[in-house]
Structure 1
Amino acid sequence: MAHGPRPTATELMCPARTGVRIGHYPINYEVPISRTSGSLASGPLASGPLASGSLASCVSARQAAGRMPYLHSVTNVPLSWNTEMGCGYYTVRCLGEELNLPRSARALVKNVKFTSEKNTIYFPIPFKETETTSALKGIEALVATALANLKYGEITRKIEINLEQTTCFLFQTYLSTIDGLGKYDAGIKAKLKDTDLLQAQSDPYRRMSANLYATKTPETYFHIHGSLEANTTLQMIGLPPFRPDLKTIEDISQCIESHVQQFTVKELETRNKELRQAGVTAYKHEDFIATPHGKVNKDLPPWSVVPLETTTPPIPLSQDAPGAKARVLSSIKVLELCRIIAGPVITRILAEYGADVLKVTSPNLSDVPFFQVDVNFGKQCANIDLKSVEGRKVFDKLLLEADVVVDGYRPGALDKLGYGANALTELALKRGKGFVYVNENCFGYEGEWAYRPGWQQIADCATGIAWAQGKFMGLQEPVIPPFPISDYGTGVMGAIAALTGLYHRAISGGSWHGKVSLMHYDLLLFRVGQYSETVQAQLRARQTEDFFKLRHNHSVDQISGTVMRQMREQYPWLFDQEKYRERWVSKGWNAEVSVIKPVASIEGLELSFKRASRPNGSDEPGWAFLEEDTRLL
């Protein structure tokens, strides 16, 4: 195994001079940050324009190494070495108003502390994933604290965001287990409910219909994506739905790539559009932001929260039952209409804050079986066919009591069924109680590609993340980064949008529409900036030979599995069962399940799950929730 000097945040102990522009007012000062934590509880950030006018100080000290027009750099502290970026001045934008964040949340930044046991960069990725998501988690906790102050009264509540816990959160589906078996372990399939109805996951050939391949156009790549169906994409490139004669991933990849290479990128885009598939060209970032869609979206905020109607009355949060734990969302009912990861992560986070989340899936649509171990935590899960008369009656009854609806399906799908944002706005006016409606999609909500379906790999290819990953690895080709990190980061943005909407509904009434996308999370990573070349070189020096053998046409599982094995050897503490994970006895799985603990810690509030995960469709549809599972650790 190749080892190099381990990047650490030793420079966090050094003061750095920073220039921060809030509106039109530049402020210069020195900010001391401790070695093991980026505490914002004291010093110049504790008061003044930064404390009340922006979320600047919601950013961990590590993030200061990059340019952050949206999630503000509060210091320019070098990440790991004296040569990392140096000290300088940055102009940042005040995003409080732009994102409709509660002013009361912006006034609480002095209570946020970011901690790290090891001060280590973990992911072999050029982007500041942990740092960015730690900042998002800080914002999430601030809005939740603002809600808690409405519900319980205003007191000082210390907030802590741990960077190791955040790192684990970003690949937690790979850390989840059933009876000790993880995603890559033999025997895991027997533990799962088979929701892969069309064998798009279980058949390796069909699974590779969602992968990145070279095209007929020289040095140009296209990520085809059969979603959870596979047939249409395979037929699009002239292949049959099944090829049982292909026995190895290498043979499968070579076969599919040889067919993709029969088409130019333009031809693939045309076919992809005609057949409404989720594929996309792998763009370099500079090429993406030069497209009409990129131009429209590159300067938009990472997420948005806007009113749908303003006539329904304020809905304060109900008080907890006598003797109950202080769960800020204990009175909130959430309907989840999502699959895979990003959308379900939004509601998983809301469940951490005490919301009753009912995940609704169709018995006729596929979902990835193993992901449910992680993303279904804290929820009840029911099957409802929204295309049937009986199913719609059941769902309509659930909507009458719902506070939040999260839509993670392809753009327009729920609108066609009569359950989109406009339909729910009409229902809100009729019932006299507003909704918070949160959309999660791939390409955002403005521009010519807003209608397109997509997944994390698609966003990573479209925005230039994949090309940047390939360059980091010393290649002249794009490579999908390991783990569904953008899914989890997008989930946090969606949770912030939901919490923000609930805050505004409690204060002002009305219905609120939150919008998040995988593309905008990726664009946020570019705005934050990549690690310096010095840091990237140090990261590369740690990687094994197997890592550098990865290429554009290796599957997500091959890439993530390679990095997972490497990380187990290099950072065994991240895989500590007790420190970062919790174990439950799940009746839904009839097994012991282990998942990552909630990231945020807020003094005086209970952030935990009330129930273990279970497979899709395990419960009857309704709001009678029971705390039926036992937490072991």
Structure 2
Amino acid sequence: MAPHQTTQGGFGPGTYVDTAFTPVPKECRRLLHYFASITSQFTKDDALLDSVDFVGGDLPIIPGPLKAQAMSAVLHAMCGIVGKEISAMKGIDTGKITINTDQAGMYPASASLVSINSQKPNDMALDPAILAAATNLEHGALMKNPMHLRAWSIYPTKDAKVWYQIMSNLDAPGFLKAYGMDSEAPVKTNDEAYELMKAEFSQYSAGELETKNIEHGFCGQTCYTPQQWRETLMGKRLAGHPIFNVSRARATPDLPPVPFPCTPNDKRPLAGIKVVELARVIAAPALGAVLSSFGAEVVKVESPDLPDPNALQMTLTAGKYTCPLDLNREEDRLRLHKLIEGADVVVQAFRRRSLERKGFGLEDILQMANKRGKGVVYLDLTCYGPDGTYSERPGFQQIADAASGCSYVCGKAYGFEEGVSALPSLPVADMLTGAAGALDVMLALRERAQHGGSYHCDAALTAIDTIQLKPEFGLYSPEIVKKIQDVHRFAPMTPDLHVSDLLFVVIRAWAETTDVLKRKDFFSHFVESPFGKDHIILAPLVRYENAEVSPCWKHSPVPYCQHPEVQWAS
């Protein structure tokens, strides 16, 4: 494989910019072979890699220099290839795989690509019928008022040219109180709230903000350049792990292989596989949604007391069951224990080791698997990675963007002064980590079926960000960034904007400059759902030539905590 040609420094220290533009479908083929070459459990068979047909427009539809659209297409293609291998183990031929790269560009915006009763997301908040159908787990944590919303923004510090990602951890009152601010301050607009907080946070150095947040148990992150991140101890530690991190668990006996279930009425690759999803917000629920589309029976376990953005239940619960369990209650811990006893996969996305205190850490689940004599796949999804000084810190997508250098690079690409950072335009790290984690799980399940044992997987938001900044990946040049902007006319993307603001910036531009939102083949349509009629969300990206094997969701998204008495179907 020929080295990818880049030049250094086009978007600041530690950046690598392509010397020539490659159309998105062709670039996807190159990146697929690159990922295959660095992933030990993934096929190296060129014929299998070439069974993927990437189709779509030449120019990306996502703003900025990151190749998030191509990475989205490639990650789903890799899931499709492993699904093809699993199907072959069951005697089913999927045929060729098709990935539309324009639809792949829409994938990071999945959480907002929803229509119910012909209403778009910004209308749905006004619809009493949809509000009545939704389960309110948001508790005002994010959208209650401008102070809550702008407690998730990027701010200047007293250090020259150094900006910092502030995050309230879905606890704006507690977070702002630590800085002497009132979450109910009488501000009328998001801009007023931003300026009020900016006056406070700019009195601190980045180091002082970091120390204060660690002391109070909050997350936050200096907006590093890519070079600065690579030079940190945590950056070096994370770089020592593979991007797709799957290993056979050592603390297990020689458990026998577990064949994939025979499901005559469902030929999707993961039909009959049972998954427990312990997570909230976006990344791990996106992972569960991919597994569900491939046929897995996914139970999303939620605490009725922990906040979770309400809009996500209208998209990322597709094909799942949603079960309310409070792990502070012995009765609910026993119910979760029973669910896991029948599960093939456990996905957890809370702070590393936090579930150990409840009896559901990795070693606890491995012991359960040993006792039943059947291996399990356990995946940890975190912000910073499996070990190192920051591994147990809380974090969200925005934290990974700040740490890795992605926010810095976007700020440079958008023409801001040195150090001014801005989020990538979509929740790229969240959604792509979900797809990467789904690939980890599928690889582990295939290994379990072939070799037996239990498997541990790690997926990290910051790892997904940092690989997009490597020279082997490359960034789009300033000329291409301008060309994308000239075509789509995206509104300004500034440091104050929350990811929800940016989602609407991008979706509005797509509506005005492309036909992607009108492509019926890009969407899944449910005539009826608990939320109303004509529930439409972005469809799975993988399409097999054999249509009855293709990923799909068997039922619409469902409200949070919808199935309190859920049991495995078989």
After superposition, where does 1:557-596 map in structure 2 within 5 Å? 557-571=500-514, 573-576=515-518, 578-596=520-538
Question: Does 2:425 correspond to 1:482?
Answer: yes
How far apart, in 1, do the equivalents of 2:552 and 2:485 lie? 37
Q: 2:81 matched to 1:134?
A: no
What residue is the counterpart of 1:86 in the other structure? none
Structure 1 unpaired stretches of 5+: 1-17, 22-36, 39-58, 74-91, 627-633
1:390 CA displacement? 0.8
Deviation at 1:253, TM superposition (A): 0.7
Q: Equivalent residue for 1:313?
A: 256
1:349 to 270, 282, 290: 290
Distance 2:455 2:107 in 1: 28
Q: The residue matched to 2:90 in structure 1 has which SS?
A: helix
Inter-CA distance 400–557: structure 2 relative to 1 (3 Å threshold): closer
Structure 2 contact 286–431 (Cα < 8 Å) conserved: yes
Kept in 1, the 8 Å contact 2:72–2:107? The answer is no
Deviation readout 1:80-103 (Å, 9 max, x if unpaired): xxxxxxxxxxxx983232xx3367
The residue aligned with 2:2 is: 19
Task: Find the structure with the greater CA-based Rg.
Answer: 1
Tell me: CA distance 1:547–1:310, structure 2 relative to 1, closer, same or farther (3 Å): farther
Indicate if the aligned counterparts of 2:238 and 2:384 stay in contact, CA closer than 8 A: no
Q: State the partner residue of 1:507.
A: 450
Structure number with the higher helix fraction is 2
* Distance in 1, Cα, partners of 2:276 & 2:327: 13
Partner of 2:104: 166
Which of the numbers 180, 187, 195 marks the counterpart of 1:238? Answer: 180
Q: CA RMSD in A?
A: 2.3
| C-alpha contact 1:177 1:373 (8 A) present in aligned 2 | no
Match of 1:196 among 113, 117, 138: 138
Contact 2:149 2:498 in 1 (8 A): no
Q: Distance in 2 between matches of 1:409 and 1:402?
A: 19
Q: Using the aligned pairs only, state the percent identity.
A: 26
Per-residue CA deviations over 1:346-368 (Å, capped at 9, x if unaligned) read: 11011111111111001111110
Shift of residue 111, structure 1, vs aligned partner: 1.3
Is residue 2:109 matched to residue 1:176?
no
Hey, what's the Cα distance between the residues in 2 that align with 1:559 and 1:489?
17
Cα-to-partner distance string for 1:179-233 (whole Å, 9 max, x where unaligned): 2223322644642322112533332311221111111222211111112221222
Is 1:229 aligned to residue 171 of structure 2? yes
Does the aligned pair in 1 maintain the 2:109–2:503 contact within 8 Å?
A: no
Residue 555 of structure 1 corresponds to 498
Q: Is the 2:25–2:58 Cα contact (8 Å) retained in structure 1?
A: no
The superposition leaves residues 492-534 of structure 1 with CA deviations (integer Å, 9 ceiling, x where unpaired) of: 1000001011101111111111111110110121121101233
Instruction: Kindly provide the CA deviation profile for residues 6-59 of structure 1, in whole angstroms up to 9, marking residues without a partner as x.
Output: xxxxxxxxxxxx6369xxxxxxxxxxxxxxx99xxxxxxxxxxxxxxxxxxxx9
1:368/1:106 CA distance change after superposition, 3 Å: farther
Alignment correspondent of 2:559: 615
Q: Secondary structure at the match of 1:208?
A: helix
- Output the CA distance in 2 between the equivalents of 1:134 and 1:142: 12
Asked which structure has the greater RCO (Cα within 8 Å, sep 6+), the reply is 2
SS of 1:370 mapped into structure 2: helix
In structure 2, the residue corresponding to 1:434 is in which secondary structure? coil
Mapped pair 1:535 → 2:480: yes
> How far, CA to CA, are the matches of 1:149 and 1:305 in structure 2?
22
Amino acid at match of 1:565: R
Cα distance change, pair 168–316 in 1 and its aligned pair in 2 (3 A): same
**Aligned partners of 1:468 and 1:121: how far apart in 2?**
17
**Relative to structure 2, which stretch is displaced further, 278-287 or 589-598?**
589-598
Any stretches of 5+ residues in structure 2 without a counterpart? 5-21
Instruction: State the SS of the aligned residue for 1:513.
Output: strand
Task: Name the CA distance, whole Å, in 1 between partners of 2:533 and 2:126.
Answer: 12
Q: Secondary structure at the match of 1:378?
A: coil
- Residue 419 of structure 1 deviates from its aligned partner by 0.4
Q: CA deviation at 1:415?
A: 1.6
CA contact (8 A) 1:63 1:128 kept: no
The separation in 2 between residues aligned to 1:150 and 1:72, in whole angstroms, is: 23
Does the 8 Å CA contact 1:159/1:603 hold for their aligned counterparts?
yes
Number of residue-to-residue matches in the alignment: 541
Summarize the alignment of residues 44-193 of structure 1 with structure 2, pairs less than 5 Å apart: 60-63=25-28, 72-73=33-34, 94-97=37-40, 100-101=41-42, 108-116=48-56, 118-152=57-91, 155=93, 157-185=95-123, 187-188=125-126, 190=128, 191-192=130-131, 193=134
Measured after TM superposition, the shift of residue 303 of structure 1 is 2.2
Alignment partner of 1:300 is 2:241: yes
Question: Cα distance, 1:165 vs. partner?
Answer: 1.7
Q: CA deviation at 1:234?
A: 0.8
For residue 590 of structure 1, report the CA deviation from its aligned partner.
3.9
| 8 Å contact kept, 2:253–2:370 | no
The one-letter code matched in structure 1 to 2:554 is K
What's the secondary structure of 1:375's corresponding residue?
Answer: coil
